[in-house]
Structure 1
Amino acid sequence: MRFEVLGTFTITSGSRSVPLRGRMRRTLLGVLLVRANTFVPVDVLTEALWESRWEPRAVPKLHWHVHKLRQALPEADRLGFDNGGYRLEVHPGELDVETFETLGSQALKSSDPAQRVSLIRQALAHWQGAPYEGLDVPLLSDETMRLAEHRLALLEELYQAELALGRHASAAVELADLVRRHPLRQRAQYLLMDALWRAGRTSDALAAYRRARRVSIGQLGLEPGPELRFLERRILAGDAAGAGVSPAPALFGQVRYVR
Protein backbone atom coordinates (compact mmCIF):
# COMPACT_ATOMS: atom_id res chain seq x y z
CA MET A 1 0.00 0.00 0.00
CA ARG A 2 0.94 3.62 -0.39
CA PHE A 3 -0.32 6.49 1.76
CA GLU A 4 -0.05 10.05 0.47
CA VAL A 5 -0.98 12.98 2.72
CA LEU A 6 1.14 15.82 1.31
CA GLY A 7 -1.89 17.30 -0.38
CA THR A 8 -5.02 15.28 -1.05
CA PHE A 9 -5.39 12.09 0.97
CA THR A 10 -4.65 9.14 -1.29
CA ILE A 11 -4.40 5.42 -0.59
CA THR A 12 -3.21 3.23 -3.41
CA SER A 13 -2.73 -0.49 -3.75
CA GLY A 14 -0.77 -1.35 -6.86
CA SER A 15 -2.36 0.74 -9.60
CA ARG A 16 -5.69 1.00 -7.79
CA SER A 17 -6.69 4.14 -5.92
CA VAL A 18 -8.80 3.64 -2.81
CA PRO A 19 -11.50 6.29 -2.28
CA LEU A 20 -11.65 7.76 1.21
CA ARG A 21 -14.90 9.62 1.72
CA GLY A 22 -15.93 11.80 4.63
CA ARG A 23 -14.06 14.30 6.78
CA MET A 24 -14.29 12.08 9.86
CA ARG A 25 -12.65 9.16 8.09
CA ARG A 26 -9.87 11.33 6.66
CA THR A 27 -9.26 12.85 10.10
CA LEU A 28 -9.10 9.39 11.66
CA LEU A 29 -6.65 8.17 9.03
CA GLY A 30 -4.57 11.33 9.40
CA VAL A 31 -4.15 10.91 13.15
CA LEU A 32 -3.32 7.22 12.77
CA LEU A 33 -0.70 8.09 10.13
CA VAL A 34 0.87 10.84 12.24
CA ARG A 35 1.33 8.19 14.92
CA ALA A 36 1.86 5.27 12.58
CA ASN A 37 2.86 1.94 14.12
CA THR A 38 1.91 3.04 17.64
CA PHE A 39 -1.34 2.48 19.52
CA VAL A 40 -3.31 5.72 19.63
CA PRO A 41 -5.60 5.85 22.69
CA VAL A 42 -9.32 5.96 22.06
CA ASP A 43 -9.68 9.27 23.92
CA VAL A 44 -7.06 10.91 21.66
CA LEU A 45 -8.97 9.74 18.60
CA THR A 46 -12.37 10.85 19.88
CA GLU A 47 -10.96 14.26 20.82
CA ALA A 48 -9.55 14.63 17.32
CA LEU A 49 -12.75 13.57 15.59
CA TRP A 50 -15.10 15.69 17.68
CA GLU A 51 -12.60 18.48 18.44
CA SER A 52 -13.12 18.27 22.20
CA ARG A 53 -16.88 18.79 21.84
CA TRP A 54 -19.00 16.59 24.10
CA GLU A 55 -20.35 13.68 22.10
CA PRO A 56 -22.44 11.21 24.15
CA ARG A 57 -21.80 8.27 21.82
CA ALA A 58 -18.25 9.16 20.84
CA VAL A 59 -16.70 5.75 21.53
CA PRO A 60 -19.23 3.60 19.62
CA LYS A 61 -19.17 6.13 16.78
CA LEU A 62 -15.38 5.93 16.72
CA HIS A 63 -15.58 2.14 16.48
CA TRP A 64 -17.98 2.51 13.54
CA HIS A 65 -15.62 4.92 11.72
CA VAL A 66 -12.73 2.54 12.35
CA HIS A 67 -14.82 -0.29 10.94
CA LYS A 68 -15.55 1.71 7.77
CA LEU A 69 -11.90 2.71 7.41
CA ARG A 70 -10.82 -0.90 7.84
CA GLN A 71 -13.25 -1.89 5.11
CA ALA A 72 -11.71 0.71 2.79
CA LEU A 73 -8.15 -0.46 3.34
CA PRO A 74 -6.87 -3.04 0.83
CA GLU A 75 -5.25 -4.84 3.78
CA ALA A 76 -7.77 -4.59 6.60
CA ASP A 77 -5.58 -6.36 9.14
CA ARG A 78 -3.19 -3.38 9.08
CA LEU A 79 -5.60 -1.56 11.43
CA GLY A 80 -5.72 -3.28 14.81
CA PHE A 81 -6.90 -2.65 18.36
CA ASP A 82 -5.02 -3.32 21.60
CA ASN A 83 -3.90 -1.54 24.76
CA GLY A 84 -6.97 0.71 24.68
CA GLY A 85 -6.15 2.17 21.30
CA TYR A 86 -5.93 1.65 17.55
CA ARG A 87 -2.76 1.11 15.56
CA LEU A 88 -2.20 1.44 11.82
CA GLU A 89 0.69 -0.63 10.53
CA VAL A 90 2.71 1.29 7.93
CA HIS A 91 5.71 -0.34 6.29
CA PRO A 92 8.93 1.53 5.41
CA GLY A 93 8.54 3.56 2.24
CA GLU A 94 4.74 3.48 2.22
CA LEU A 95 4.11 7.00 3.59
CA ASP A 96 5.03 10.00 1.45
CA VAL A 97 5.94 12.06 4.54
CA GLU A 98 8.59 9.49 5.43
CA THR A 99 10.00 9.58 1.88
CA PHE A 100 9.97 13.39 1.89
CA GLU A 101 11.84 13.58 5.19
CA THR A 102 14.28 10.78 4.35
CA LEU A 103 15.34 12.46 1.10
CA GLY A 104 15.65 15.79 2.90
CA SER A 105 17.80 14.24 5.60
CA GLN A 106 20.05 12.60 3.01
CA ALA A 107 20.45 15.94 1.26
CA LEU A 108 21.50 17.74 4.41
CA LYS A 109 24.17 15.12 5.07
CA SER A 110 25.71 15.53 1.63
CA SER A 111 28.64 17.90 1.08
CA ASP A 112 28.16 17.79 -2.71
CA PRO A 113 25.92 20.70 -3.79
CA ALA A 114 24.81 18.92 -6.97
CA GLN A 115 23.69 15.91 -4.96
CA ARG A 116 21.97 18.17 -2.43
CA VAL A 117 20.03 19.85 -5.23
CA SER A 118 18.99 16.51 -6.72
CA LEU A 119 17.86 15.02 -3.40
CA ILE A 120 15.99 18.13 -2.28
CA ARG A 121 14.15 18.42 -5.58
CA GLN A 122 13.20 14.74 -5.30
CA ALA A 123 11.88 15.41 -1.80
CA LEU A 124 9.92 18.49 -2.86
CA ALA A 125 8.33 16.59 -5.74
CA HIS A 126 6.30 14.69 -3.13
CA TRP A 127 4.75 17.93 -1.87
CA GLN A 128 1.41 18.32 -3.66
CA GLY A 129 -0.30 20.80 -1.34
CA ALA A 130 -1.22 21.45 2.27
CA PRO A 131 -0.55 18.27 4.29
CA TYR A 132 -3.61 16.34 5.45
CA GLU A 133 -5.77 18.53 3.19
CA GLY A 134 -5.42 21.33 5.74
CA LEU A 135 -7.74 19.58 8.22
CA ASP A 136 -8.11 21.95 11.17
CA VAL A 137 -7.55 19.45 13.98
CA PRO A 138 -4.92 20.39 16.59
CA LEU A 139 -2.82 17.24 16.25
CA LEU A 140 -2.88 17.43 12.44
CA SER A 141 -2.41 21.22 12.44
CA ASP A 142 0.74 20.87 14.53
CA GLU A 143 2.10 18.25 12.14
CA THR A 144 1.17 20.41 9.15
CA MET A 145 3.06 23.37 10.61
CA ARG A 146 6.11 21.20 11.31
CA LEU A 147 6.14 19.84 7.76
CA ALA A 148 5.58 23.28 6.22
CA GLU A 149 8.54 24.66 8.17
CA HIS A 150 10.66 21.69 7.09
CA ARG A 151 9.72 22.34 3.45
CA LEU A 152 10.72 26.01 3.69
CA ALA A 153 14.04 25.08 5.29
CA LEU A 154 14.68 22.60 2.47
CA LEU A 155 13.91 25.27 -0.12
CA GLU A 156 16.47 27.55 1.50
CA GLU A 157 19.01 24.73 1.49
CA LEU A 158 18.20 24.10 -2.17
CA TYR A 159 18.94 27.68 -3.19
CA GLN A 160 22.10 27.72 -1.08
CA ALA A 161 23.30 24.70 -3.07
CA GLU A 162 22.21 26.29 -6.35
CA LEU A 163 24.35 29.33 -5.53
CA ALA A 164 27.30 27.06 -4.78
CA LEU A 165 26.86 25.63 -8.30
CA GLY A 166 26.94 29.12 -9.82
CA ARG A 167 23.26 29.21 -10.78
CA HIS A 168 22.83 32.73 -9.47
CA ALA A 169 20.31 34.12 -11.96
CA SER A 170 17.87 31.20 -11.84
CA ALA A 171 18.14 31.00 -8.04
CA ALA A 172 17.37 34.72 -7.79
CA VAL A 173 14.13 34.25 -9.76
CA GLU A 174 12.91 31.42 -7.52
CA LEU A 175 14.07 33.16 -4.34
CA ALA A 176 12.18 36.32 -5.28
CA ASP A 177 8.99 34.27 -5.42
CA LEU A 178 9.79 32.56 -2.10
CA VAL A 179 10.41 35.93 -0.42
CA ARG A 180 7.15 37.34 -1.79
CA ARG A 181 5.26 34.46 -0.18
CA HIS A 182 7.28 34.42 3.06
CA PRO A 183 8.60 37.97 3.57
CA LEU A 184 9.67 37.43 7.19
CA ARG A 185 12.10 34.58 6.48
CA GLN A 186 15.42 36.35 6.81
CA ARG A 187 17.49 33.47 5.51
CA ALA A 188 15.51 33.58 2.26
CA GLN A 189 16.05 37.36 2.18
CA TYR A 190 19.79 36.84 2.66
CA LEU A 191 19.96 34.26 -0.12
CA LEU A 192 18.01 36.53 -2.48
CA MET A 193 20.39 39.42 -1.82
CA ASP A 194 23.39 37.16 -2.31
CA ALA A 195 21.98 35.66 -5.54
CA LEU A 196 21.27 39.09 -7.01
CA TRP A 197 24.70 40.35 -5.99
CA ARG A 198 26.47 37.37 -7.55
CA ALA A 199 24.35 37.75 -10.70
CA GLY A 200 25.72 41.27 -11.11
CA ARG A 201 22.48 42.96 -10.04
CA THR A 202 23.92 45.06 -7.23
CA SER A 203 21.18 47.69 -7.20
CA ASP A 204 18.52 44.97 -7.07
CA ALA A 205 20.35 43.30 -4.16
CA LEU A 206 20.31 46.57 -2.21
CA ALA A 207 16.65 47.12 -3.10
CA ALA A 208 15.92 43.64 -1.74
CA TYR A 209 17.58 44.63 1.53
CA ARG A 210 15.49 47.81 1.76
CA ARG A 211 12.31 45.80 1.22
CA ALA A 212 13.37 43.28 3.85
CA ARG A 213 14.05 46.11 6.29
CA ARG A 214 10.68 47.76 5.63
CA VAL A 215 8.86 44.48 6.23
CA SER A 216 10.82 43.69 9.39
CA ILE A 217 10.28 47.13 10.87
CA GLY A 218 6.68 47.42 9.69
CA GLN A 219 5.50 44.00 10.87
CA LEU A 220 7.81 43.27 13.79
CA GLY A 221 9.20 46.63 14.86
CA LEU A 222 12.66 45.08 14.46
CA GLU A 223 15.77 45.79 12.44
CA PRO A 224 16.91 42.94 10.18
CA GLY A 225 19.34 40.48 11.72
CA PRO A 226 23.11 41.06 11.73
CA GLU A 227 23.73 38.73 8.78
CA LEU A 228 21.53 40.80 6.48
CA ARG A 229 23.04 44.06 7.71
CA PHE A 230 26.57 42.72 7.22
CA LEU A 231 25.80 41.57 3.68
CA GLU A 232 24.37 45.00 2.86
CA ARG A 233 27.57 46.66 4.13
CA ARG A 234 29.71 44.39 1.96
CA ILE A 235 27.67 45.18 -1.12
CA LEU A 236 27.82 48.93 -0.39
CA ALA A 237 31.57 48.68 0.13
CA GLY A 238 31.95 47.34 -3.39
CA ASP A 239 33.45 44.00 -2.38
CA ALA A 240 33.73 41.37 -5.08
CA ALA A 241 30.41 39.54 -5.36
CA GLY A 242 30.47 36.41 -3.24
CA ALA A 243 34.11 36.77 -2.23
CA GLY A 244 34.58 35.60 1.32
CA VAL A 245 30.84 35.29 1.88
CA SER A 246 29.96 32.36 4.10
CA PRO A 247 26.92 30.22 3.34
CA ALA A 248 23.72 31.71 4.71
CA PRO A 249 23.40 30.47 8.29
CA ALA A 250 20.51 28.14 8.98
CA LEU A 251 19.66 30.08 12.12
CA PHE A 252 19.97 33.83 12.06
CA GLY A 253 21.10 35.91 15.01
CA GLN A 254 18.90 38.15 17.10
CA VAL A 255 17.23 41.05 15.37
CA ARG A 256 17.32 44.51 16.91
CA TYR A 257 14.36 46.49 18.16
CA VAL A 258 13.79 49.86 16.52
CA ARG A 259 13.77 52.64 19.10
Structure 2
Amino acid sequence: MRFEVLGTIGAGQAPIHGRLRRTLLGLLLAGAGTTVRAEVLTGALWDCGPDPRAPRKLHWHVHKLRQDLPEPGRLSRRPGGYRLTVLPGELDAERFESAAIRAQELTDPAERAALLRQGLALWQGTPYEGFEVPMLLGEASRLAERKLSMLEELHAAELELGWHTAAAVELGGLVRRYPRRERLYYLLMLALCRGGRQSEALDVYRRARRVSLGQAGLEPGPALRELERRILAGEDSEKARTLTRLS
Protein backbone atom coordinates (compact mmCIF):
# COMPACT_ATOMS: atom_id res chain seq x y z
CA MET A 1 0.00 0.00 0.00
CA ARG A 2 0.95 3.63 -0.44
CA PHE A 3 -0.11 6.44 1.85
CA GLU A 4 0.13 10.15 0.99
CA VAL A 5 0.19 13.22 3.22
CA LEU A 6 2.48 15.56 1.22
CA GLY A 7 -0.56 17.15 -0.36
CA THR A 8 -4.01 15.59 -0.32
CA ILE A 9 -4.34 12.85 2.30
CA GLY A 10 -4.85 9.48 0.67
CA ALA A 11 -4.31 5.73 0.67
CA GLY A 12 -3.00 4.94 -2.80
CA GLN A 13 -5.77 4.77 -5.38
CA ALA A 14 -8.47 4.00 -2.82
CA PRO A 15 -10.99 6.85 -2.42
CA ILE A 16 -11.47 7.89 1.21
CA HIS A 17 -15.03 9.12 1.57
CA GLY A 18 -15.98 12.04 3.79
CA ARG A 19 -13.99 14.85 5.36
CA LEU A 20 -14.04 13.33 8.86
CA ARG A 21 -12.69 10.02 7.60
CA ARG A 22 -9.91 11.76 5.65
CA THR A 23 -9.05 13.76 8.76
CA LEU A 24 -9.02 10.56 10.80
CA LEU A 25 -6.68 8.96 8.26
CA GLY A 26 -4.39 11.99 8.48
CA LEU A 27 -4.27 11.79 12.27
CA LEU A 28 -3.47 8.09 12.16
CA LEU A 29 -0.76 8.66 9.54
CA ALA A 30 0.76 11.48 11.59
CA GLY A 31 1.10 8.90 14.38
CA ALA A 32 1.94 6.00 12.06
CA GLY A 33 3.34 3.00 13.90
CA THR A 34 1.97 4.13 17.25
CA THR A 35 -1.35 3.87 19.05
CA VAL A 36 -3.14 7.21 18.76
CA ARG A 37 -5.25 7.65 21.86
CA ALA A 38 -9.01 7.80 21.35
CA GLU A 39 -9.36 11.10 23.23
CA VAL A 40 -6.76 12.69 20.95
CA LEU A 41 -8.73 11.58 17.91
CA THR A 42 -12.11 12.72 19.22
CA GLY A 43 -10.69 16.05 20.36
CA ALA A 44 -9.19 16.67 16.94
CA LEU A 45 -12.21 15.49 14.97
CA TRP A 46 -14.91 17.35 16.86
CA ASP A 47 -13.05 20.04 18.82
CA CYS A 48 -15.53 20.01 21.65
CA GLY A 49 -15.70 19.31 25.36
CA PRO A 50 -16.54 15.94 26.94
CA ASP A 51 -19.20 14.15 24.90
CA PRO A 52 -20.46 10.73 26.01
CA ARG A 53 -21.29 9.93 22.39
CA ALA A 54 -17.74 10.63 21.14
CA PRO A 55 -16.37 7.08 21.59
CA ARG A 56 -19.28 5.59 19.64
CA LYS A 57 -18.98 8.18 16.87
CA LEU A 58 -15.24 7.56 16.64
CA HIS A 59 -15.74 3.80 16.50
CA TRP A 60 -18.23 4.23 13.64
CA HIS A 61 -15.87 6.43 11.62
CA VAL A 62 -12.99 4.02 12.23
CA HIS A 63 -15.23 1.21 10.98
CA LYS A 64 -16.10 3.16 7.82
CA LEU A 65 -12.46 4.15 7.21
CA ARG A 66 -11.43 0.52 7.59
CA GLN A 67 -13.91 -0.37 4.84
CA ASP A 68 -12.35 2.24 2.54
CA LEU A 69 -8.83 0.89 2.94
CA PRO A 70 -7.55 -1.69 0.43
CA GLU A 71 -6.25 -3.69 3.40
CA PRO A 72 -8.78 -3.17 6.22
CA GLY A 73 -6.72 -5.19 8.71
CA ARG A 74 -4.10 -2.42 8.78
CA LEU A 75 -6.38 -0.35 11.04
CA SER A 76 -6.82 -1.98 14.43
CA ARG A 77 -8.19 -1.14 17.83
CA ARG A 78 -5.63 -1.10 20.63
CA PRO A 79 -5.92 -0.45 24.37
CA GLY A 80 -6.80 3.21 24.69
CA GLY A 81 -6.92 4.00 20.99
CA TYR A 82 -6.31 2.95 17.39
CA ARG A 83 -3.29 2.09 15.29
CA LEU A 84 -2.70 2.16 11.55
CA THR A 85 0.06 -0.20 10.46
CA VAL A 86 2.29 1.47 7.87
CA LEU A 87 5.23 -0.53 6.59
CA PRO A 88 8.63 1.06 5.84
CA GLY A 89 8.56 2.93 2.55
CA GLU A 90 4.76 3.12 2.29
CA LEU A 91 4.29 6.70 3.58
CA ASP A 92 5.49 9.51 1.31
CA ALA A 93 6.55 11.68 4.27
CA GLU A 94 8.70 8.84 5.62
CA ARG A 95 10.35 8.35 2.21
CA PHE A 96 10.95 12.09 1.98
CA GLU A 97 12.64 12.26 5.37
CA SER A 98 14.61 9.10 4.66
CA ALA A 99 16.02 10.75 1.52
CA ALA A 100 17.08 13.76 3.61
CA ILE A 101 18.90 11.57 6.12
CA ARG A 102 20.62 9.45 3.48
CA ALA A 103 21.70 12.54 1.54
CA GLN A 104 23.57 13.84 4.59
CA GLU A 105 25.73 10.72 4.50
CA LEU A 106 26.81 11.18 0.88
CA THR A 107 30.05 12.95 -0.01
CA ASP A 108 29.52 13.08 -3.77
CA PRO A 109 27.53 16.25 -4.58
CA ALA A 110 25.94 14.74 -7.71
CA GLU A 111 24.60 11.76 -5.76
CA ARG A 112 23.47 14.07 -2.98
CA ALA A 113 21.63 16.39 -5.38
CA ALA A 114 19.93 13.49 -7.15
CA LEU A 115 18.70 11.98 -3.90
CA LEU A 116 17.46 15.33 -2.59
CA ARG A 117 15.54 16.00 -5.80
CA GLN A 118 14.04 12.53 -5.57
CA GLY A 119 12.80 13.27 -2.05
CA LEU A 120 11.48 16.72 -2.95
CA ALA A 121 9.60 15.29 -5.96
CA LEU A 122 7.30 13.47 -3.53
CA TRP A 123 5.64 16.77 -2.63
CA GLN A 124 2.29 17.31 -4.35
CA GLY A 125 1.12 20.32 -2.32
CA THR A 126 0.86 21.47 1.29
CA PRO A 127 1.19 18.59 3.79
CA TYR A 128 -2.21 17.42 5.07
CA GLU A 129 -3.73 19.88 2.63
CA GLY A 130 -7.01 21.50 3.64
CA PHE A 131 -7.20 20.27 7.24
CA GLU A 132 -7.13 22.94 9.95
CA VAL A 133 -6.50 20.51 12.82
CA PRO A 134 -3.82 21.64 15.34
CA MET A 135 -2.12 18.24 15.43
CA LEU A 136 -1.90 18.12 11.63
CA LEU A 137 -0.92 21.79 11.33
CA GLY A 138 2.01 21.17 13.67
CA GLU A 139 3.18 18.17 11.65
CA ALA A 140 2.69 20.09 8.39
CA SER A 141 4.84 22.93 9.74
CA ARG A 142 7.60 20.51 10.75
CA LEU A 143 7.61 18.88 7.30
CA ALA A 144 7.63 22.28 5.56
CA GLU A 145 10.69 23.31 7.58
CA ARG A 146 12.40 20.05 6.62
CA LYS A 147 11.59 20.73 2.97
CA LEU A 148 13.22 24.16 3.16
CA SER A 149 16.35 22.67 4.69
CA MET A 150 16.45 20.08 1.90
CA LEU A 151 16.11 22.78 -0.75
CA GLU A 152 19.06 24.59 0.79
CA GLU A 153 21.12 21.40 0.80
CA LEU A 154 20.13 20.72 -2.81
CA HIS A 155 21.31 24.09 -4.05
CA ALA A 156 24.48 23.86 -1.99
CA ALA A 157 25.23 20.56 -3.73
CA GLU A 158 24.49 22.12 -7.12
CA LEU A 159 26.93 24.92 -6.40
CA GLU A 160 29.58 22.34 -5.61
CA LEU A 161 28.86 20.88 -9.05
CA GLY A 162 29.28 24.29 -10.70
CA TRP A 163 25.63 24.69 -11.69
CA HIS A 164 25.64 28.38 -10.74
CA THR A 165 23.22 29.74 -13.33
CA ALA A 166 20.45 27.20 -12.75
CA ALA A 167 20.85 27.45 -8.98
CA ALA A 168 20.66 31.25 -9.10
CA VAL A 169 17.31 31.11 -10.92
CA GLU A 170 15.71 28.76 -8.38
CA LEU A 171 17.29 30.51 -5.40
CA GLY A 172 15.99 33.87 -6.60
CA GLY A 173 12.45 32.54 -6.44
CA LEU A 174 13.02 30.97 -3.04
CA VAL A 175 14.41 34.21 -1.58
CA ARG A 176 11.31 36.07 -2.71
CA ARG A 177 9.09 33.40 -1.20
CA TYR A 178 11.01 33.05 2.08
CA PRO A 179 12.57 36.48 2.69
CA ARG A 180 13.62 35.71 6.27
CA ARG A 181 15.70 32.67 5.37
CA GLU A 182 19.30 33.88 5.60
CA ARG A 183 20.95 30.79 4.17
CA LEU A 184 18.98 31.24 0.94
CA TYR A 185 20.45 34.72 0.56
CA TYR A 186 23.91 33.28 1.19
CA LEU A 187 23.54 30.60 -1.46
CA LEU A 188 22.07 33.05 -3.96
CA MET A 189 24.96 35.47 -3.41
CA LEU A 190 27.42 32.63 -3.90
CA ALA A 191 25.69 31.45 -7.08
CA LEU A 192 25.71 34.96 -8.55
CA CYS A 193 29.29 35.60 -7.55
CA ARG A 194 30.55 32.37 -9.05
CA GLY A 195 28.70 33.26 -12.24
CA GLY A 196 30.59 36.56 -12.45
CA ARG A 197 27.63 38.65 -11.26
CA GLN A 198 29.24 40.29 -8.25
CA SER A 199 27.18 43.49 -8.36
CA GLU A 200 23.96 41.47 -8.28
CA ALA A 201 25.31 39.44 -5.39
CA LEU A 202 25.93 42.66 -3.45
CA ASP A 203 22.39 43.78 -4.23
CA VAL A 204 21.17 40.54 -2.68
CA TYR A 205 23.22 41.25 0.44
CA ARG A 206 21.70 44.73 0.74
CA ARG A 207 18.22 43.21 0.40
CA ALA A 208 19.02 40.65 3.11
CA ARG A 209 20.32 43.40 5.38
CA ARG A 210 17.15 45.48 4.91
CA VAL A 211 15.00 42.50 5.81
CA SER A 212 17.11 41.60 8.84
CA LEU A 213 17.16 45.15 10.18
CA GLY A 214 13.48 45.69 9.44
CA GLN A 215 12.22 42.43 10.95
CA ALA A 216 14.62 41.79 13.82
CA GLY A 217 16.63 44.98 14.20
CA LEU A 218 19.84 42.99 13.64
CA GLU A 219 22.65 42.95 11.11
CA PRO A 220 22.91 39.81 8.95
CA GLY A 221 24.80 36.85 10.42
CA PRO A 222 28.58 36.49 10.27
CA ALA A 223 28.63 34.12 7.27
CA LEU A 224 26.64 36.55 5.12
CA ARG A 225 28.81 39.50 6.20
CA GLU A 226 31.98 37.53 5.49
CA LEU A 227 30.77 36.65 2.01
CA GLU A 228 30.03 40.32 1.32
CA ARG A 229 33.53 41.19 2.49
CA ARG A 230 35.06 38.60 0.13
CA ILE A 231 33.09 39.95 -2.82
CA LEU A 232 34.02 43.56 -2.06
CA ALA A 233 37.66 42.53 -1.71
CA GLY A 234 37.56 40.73 -5.03
CA GLU A 235 38.59 37.44 -3.47
CA ASP A 236 38.11 34.17 -5.33
CA SER A 237 34.59 33.00 -4.48
CA GLU A 238 35.80 29.39 -4.63
CA LYS A 239 37.41 30.01 -1.24
CA ALA A 240 33.90 29.96 0.20
CA ARG A 241 33.24 26.45 -1.14
CA THR A 242 33.32 24.87 2.33
CA LEU A 243 30.54 27.22 3.44
CA THR A 244 27.96 26.04 0.90
CA ARG A 245 26.68 23.62 3.51
CA LEU A 246 26.39 26.32 6.16
CA SER A 247 23.74 25.44 8.76
Report the TM-score when normalising by structure 1: 0.92
Q: Equivalent residue for 2:155?
A: 159
The whole-number CA distance in structure 2 between the counterparts of 1:182 and 1:131 is 18
Q: Equivalent residue for 1:9?
A: 9
Alignment check: 8 A CA contact 1:134 1:141 kept: no
Aligned residue-pair number: 247
The CA RMSD measured in Å over matched residues stands at 1.3
- Determine what percentage of the aligned residue pairs are the same residue: 60
Deviation at residue 23 of structure 1 after TM alignment: 2.1
Match of 1:198 among 194, 199, 203: 194
- Pick the structure with more helix per residue: 2
Q: Give the direction of change, closer, same or farther, for the CA distance of 1:249–1:165 in structure 2 (3 Å limit).
A: closer
Alignment check: 8 A CA contact 1:107 1:119 kept: yes
Deviation at residue 211 of structure 1 after TM alignment: 0.5
Q: Equivalent residue for 1:30?
A: 26
Unaligned runs of 5+ in 1: 252-259
Helix, strand or coil for the counterpart of 1:203? helix
Which aligned runs of 4 or more in structure 1 are off by greater than 6 angstroms?
none
Q: Equivalent residue for 2:166?
A: 170
Is residue 18 of structure 1 aligned with residue 14 of structure 2? Answer: yes
In structure 1, what residue type is equivalent to 2:41? L
- Pick the structure with more strand per residue: 1
Q: Pairwise mapping of residues 178-189 of structure 1 onto structure 2 (< 5 A)?
A: 178-189=174-185
Match of 1:93 among 84, 89, 97: 89
Match of 2:105 among 99, 106, 109: 109
Report the TM-score when normalising by structure 2: 0.96
Deviation at residue 246 of structure 1 after TM alignment: 2.6
Q: Pairwise mapping of residues 61-100 of structure 1 onto structure 2 (< 5 A)?
A: 61-100=57-96
Unaligned runs of 5+ in 2: none
Deviation at residue 52 of structure 1 after TM alignment: 4.4
Q: Which deviates more, 95-104 or 146-155?
A: 95-104
The whole-number CA distance in structure 1 between the counterparts of 2:160 and 2:23 is 42
In structure 2, what residue type is equivalent to 1:160? A
Helix, strand or coil for the counterpart of 1:36? coil
Alignment check: 8 A CA contact 1:175 1:188 kept: yes
The whole-number CA distance in structure 2 between the counterparts of 1:59 and 1:227 is 54
Match of 1:121 among 117, 121, 129: 117
The whole-number CA distance in structure 1 between the counterparts of 2:108 and 2:230 is 27
Helix, strand or coil for the counterpart of 1:68? helix
In structure 1, what residue type is equivalent to 2:152? E
